[in-house]
Structure 1
Amino acid sequence: MTITPSSEHLPADFSRRFGLRPALSMREIEVLLAWIDSDSKTEAGRRLFISQGTINTHLSRIREKYAAVGRPATTKAALVARALQDALIDIDDL
């Protein structure tokens, strides 16, 4: 029998400390980085030749994946923090 502790018994930073990262696709990473580097979703969409709706869909999926590993990121600032923590970007990139 395997006992899995519930998230309420884990330290707040457990997921980050032990490397639990969402399995983001290359396209999701590309969209995330374009959005972080842009002033708006519209600008990010123009850079990637996709609509703002598609940007929103990717960001929703990215947020769901982070939440699934216990690292919610409901704001742009939180997604920037996650990208920094996961070495998708460096502080010098901002």
Structure 2
Amino acid sequence: MTSVLAPSRTYSSPQLSARETEILREWLLCDSKSEAASRLFVTAATVSTHISRIRDKYMRVGRPAATKTSLLVRALQDGVVSIDEL
């Protein structure tokens, strides 16, 4: 019998910078880009720019993430955030 919780796939993870990871985590844990920006002491435009670059990096490794939900799934798969944090 196969465990339902055991990962069955290997994913290619994009090489996110420490700042990209920080911004991605904060944005996923907030309700909006402006809230994340406020917590990180940057503008919402800066958050948007980083999120766009993160999406591009996921696209380049064959794991598109066009929505916040799909980016959350990628972040969970890659261990950027855990379900307990949400």
Do the structures match in fold with TM over 0.5?
A: yes
Q: What interval of TM-score do these two structures reach, taking the shorter chain for normalisation? A: 0.7 to 0.9
In the alignment, the residues of structure 2 paired with residue 62 and residue 49 of structure 1 have an alpha-carbon distance, to the nearest angstrom, of 19
> In the alignment, does 2:29 pair up with 1:54?
no
- Name the residue aligned to 1:67: 59
TM-score (norm 1): 0.80
1:42-93 residue CA offsets vs partner (Å, 9 max, x unmatched): 0000000000110000000000000000000000000110010001111111
> In the alignment, does 2:24 pair up with 1:32?
yes
- CA RMSD, aligned part only? 1.2
Q: Which residues of structure 1 form unaligned runs of 5+? A: 1-15
Q: Which residues of structure 2 form unaligned runs of 5+? A: 1-7
Q: Please tell me whether Structure 1 or Structure 2 has the larger radius of gyration of its CA atoms.
A: 1
Number of corresponding residues = 79
Could you tell me which amino acid in structure 1 is paired with residue 42 of structure 2?
I
Identity %: 53
TM-score (norm 2): 0.88
Q: Which runs of 4+ in 1 moved over 2 A?
A: 16-19
Corresponding residue to 2:14 among 22, 28, 31: 22
